[in-house]
Amino acid sequence: MSERITIDARGAFCPGPLMELIAALKTRQIGDEIEILSSDKGSVTDIPEWCKKVKHDCLSVDEKEGYWSVLVRKAK
């Protein structure tokens, strides 16, 4: 059964949100989802690009009020 967690990285500067995502992925099972909240504009493109490169699934990127929500599924 996959789980979903949320990491609130709002206020953290690049590459902080990416590093927090990676640290969290290390502790999750394949299939688990991590929603990362970030106010850093660079992370909006960096996280999907990183997922593509290392082959995790970036499921969605949603703009909210003053921040973004990026949903990643651990694929390996």
Partner 1 sequence: MSNGLFILLCSGEHEKVQMAAMMASVAAVSERPVEVFVSMNALLAFANGLDPAERYHGGEFSELLRAKDAPDAISLLQRGKEFGDLKIWACSMALDVQGWEMSHLEKDLFDGPAGLTKFLSDAENGQLITL
Residue of the chain from 2, 3, 4, 23 that contacts partner 1 (CB under 8 A): 23
Interior angle at CA 59, CA 10 and CA 27, nearest 5 = 65
25's enclosing H/E stretch is helix 16-26
Q: Are 50 and 14 in contact (CB under 8 A)?
A: no
Q: Please tell me whether residue 48 binds partner 1 under the rule CB under 8 A.
A: no
Q: Please tell me whether residue 75 binds partner 1 under the rule CB under 8 A.
A: no
Least spacing, CB of residue 57 vs partner 1, in Å: 16
Give the burial class of 70: count Cβ atoms within 10 A of its Cβ; 0-12 exposed, 13-18 middle, 19 or more buried: buried
Residue of the chain from 2, 3, 6, 13 that contacts partner 1 (CB under 8 A): 13
**Which residues contact partner 1 by CB under 8 A?**
12-16, 18-19, 22-23, 26, 46, 50, 53-54
